[in-house]
Structure 1
Amino acid sequence: MLLTHVRPVAPARPALTTTVAREYVHRAAFSEVFLSGWRSTGQDTFVVTAQWPRSHSFYLSEHGLHDPLMLCETIRQTLPLLTHTSYGVPFGHQMSWSHFSYELSPGARAMCITNAPAEIELHVTASDISYRRSVPVAFTMDFQVVRDGVPLATASTRFGSHAPVLYQRLRTGRADVDRMFAGAPEPTAPATPSTVGRDRVRDVVLTPTDQSGTWQLRVDTAHPVLFDHPVDHVPGMVLLEAARQAVHALEPGRIGAVPVSMDALFHRYVEFDSPCWIKTSSTAPHSGGGRCVNVTAWQNEELVFFAKVATAPLA
């Protein structure tokens, strides 16, 4: 008699979710990786997924909203992810911003904190890609950011990718990460946290001066988020945070104004070994009772960074 053994059907396993490898987004701490996946949707088009926690140690969740600079960091992480995974840029290449902008969707309803982490989709289009010896060296990327199908923001960036030998040449003796990072001076005295919209001294990136509308950039290389790993210059995210804090300091008593848009140009690397001065200049009204402020950064009497920041009060 022939017996047939029938194996029981195993129950379907649920789809499992994790973050992308930290190496893809140039972060050292697993906890600072916001991206959870990506897929190609066509020639130079992609969907990248991310998750925002309801609370973060640095990107503060205030007034029921996620921090717009968490959006900036999420987009920043997308750049190395896609260049490594989809364009074959090797690890060890250094990336640098030349332009970055974002604008929250009107009303910013998708920025609201709910009783669950925020699931984010970034619809990315890459264009104007320059190559050197078949390896991409410069990109433009445009973003449509949605949450649960609701528009959250748009963003655009232009950035370069430098091979180690070219980066050494570009940095003219400053590319030794260990030496430059170890030689960074102690952080200068912080502004009062509430003046710049912060709760803790460690998160303050501005030092007061005796000149109105002018601060010294405060660089604390021990900060666990802004300096997640050793670098040879001040990261671009520190400059975006400095712009946000400088605008807040113009009206420190104002509650509930958020940076709804920022348009930034990165002209030069900001070095550790000389002071960098953050200045606010012309301001103008912005729709809905907000304002637009120009923020510049100067080092060794050269313009190194510019940002136009628009704020709006909470609806």
Structure 2
Amino acid sequence: MLAETIRQSAMLISHAGYGVPTDYPFLLWSLSYRAEPTAMAVGQTPANLTISATCQDVRFRRGIMAGMQYQTVIHRGATRLGVGTLRMDCMAPDTYARLRAPQLSQRLPDMVPPQGEYQDDKANSVLVPTGEWYTWRLQADRRHPVLFDHPVDHVPGMVIVEAMRQAANSVAGVTAVAPFEMDTNFIRYAELHLPVFVKAFPGPIGPNGELSVRVTVEQDGVSVATGRLMTRQIVREESREESLSVQKVG
């Protein structure tokens, strides 16, 4: 959710603050965040987040914003939840069409065929086991209302981010786990008609139970994205309060 919040707020500022036309495609190059694990605890009611944003290295082409470095500070109520950064470009539709023409001219039927009835529980999973240790094939339902929130001719960056998160969760082996740190870099487009493989490489476990997981996303033997995630088990607010009550009684 933090990654998607950072992405959407950057696009909103691009359109509303810099006048980028709504038909201009965005190219995501990197996205990262650092969150305070204790501030990420899940409560019984929705959390109110406040985002303070700073746009740096803003570039223009023919009077229209062509790219920027975007930094955010995110608060949950009065508590600082974390910080995030994003680097992106945007370009005119005709420029984008010329850029993508060679790949799209060779395009075959999508690796992910049209599914039957849409089902939320199955659609949220984007990884399919391959039989190899910590290796999955990417498969996402293109009718997903969040992961595919607009028509695309490639695998969206946020689908890749979600694949990295799910891979890190699988490596952690804990159901309720969250990445409180994430660094991702996008190298090239992942095409829809070729298989995409996600590979995870777990690191050592830290003193507070945090696990570092390096993830690579590959297509046709070439990296299309890389990431590093730090995960920790989620503790619900009510569970922490119950624990404190038990300690006080004891």
Please say whether Structure 1 and Structure 2 have the same fold, judged by a TM-score greater than 0.5: yes
The 8 Å contact of residues 7 and 86 in structure 2, kept in 1 or not, is answered as no
Q: CA deviation at 1:256?
A: 3.1
Pick from 77, 82, 85: which aligns with 1:153?
82
Match of 1:267 in 2: 187
Q: CA deviation at 1:174?
A: 5.0
Aligned-partner residue type, residue 137 of structure 1 = A
Q: CA deviation at 1:286?
A: 3.3
Structure 1 residues not aligned, in runs of 5+: 1-69, 190-198
Aligned-partner residue type, residue 140 of structure 1 = Q
Q: In 1, Cα distance between the equivalents of 2:172 and 2:71?
A: 32
Q: In 2, Cα distance between the equivalents of 1:86 and 1:113?
A: 34
Pick from 291, 295, 299: which aligns with 2:219?
299
1:113 aligns with 2:43: yes
Q: In 2, Cα distance between the equivalents of 1:113 and 1:173?
A: 49
Q: In 1, Cα distance between the equivalents of 2:206 and 2:125?
A: 26
Higher helix share: 2
Bigger relative contact order, structure 1 or 2 (CA pairs below 8 A, ≥6 apart): 2
Alignment CA distance shift 1:159-1:175 (3 Å): farther
The 8 Å contact of residues 6 and 86 in structure 2, kept in 1 or not, is answered as no
Alignment CA distance shift 1:231-1:169 (3 Å): same
Q: In 1, Cα distance between the equivalents of 2:200 and 2:136?
A: 9
- Residue correspondence of structure 1 range 60-139 to structure 2 within 5 A: 70-108=1-39, 111-115=41-45, 117-139=46-68
TM-score by length of 2: 0.84
- Residue correspondence of structure 1 range 28-67 to structure 2 within 5 A: none
Match of 1:248 in 2: 169
Q: CA deviation at 1:183?
A: 4.2
1:236 aligns with 2:157: yes
Higher-Rg member (1/2): 1
Secondary structure of the 2:99 match is helix
Aligned-partner residue type, residue 43 of structure 2 = I
Match of 1:13 in 2: none
The 8 Å contact of residues 30 and 87 in structure 2, kept in 1 or not, is answered as yes
Secondary structure of the 1:142 match is strand
Q: Percent identity?
A: 34
Match of 2:246 in 1: none
Q: CA deviation at 1:102?
A: 0.8
Q: In 2, Cα distance between the equivalents of 1:162 and 1:85?
A: 16
Q: How many corresponding residue pairs?
A: 231
Aligned-partner residue type, residue 85 of structure 1 = A
The 8 Å contact of residues 167 and 175 in structure 1, kept in 2 or not, is answered as no
Q: In 2, Cα distance between the equivalents of 1:301 and 1:260?
A: 29
Q: CA deviation at 1:106?
A: 4.4
Structure 2 residues not aligned, in runs of 5+: 236-250
Alignment CA distance shift 1:162-1:204 (3 Å): same
Q: For the aligned residues, what is the CA RMSD?
A: 2.5
1:26-70 per-residue CA deviation (whole Å, 9 max, x = no partner) reads xxxxxxxxxxxxxxxxxxxxxxxxxxxxxxxxxxxxxxxxxxxx2
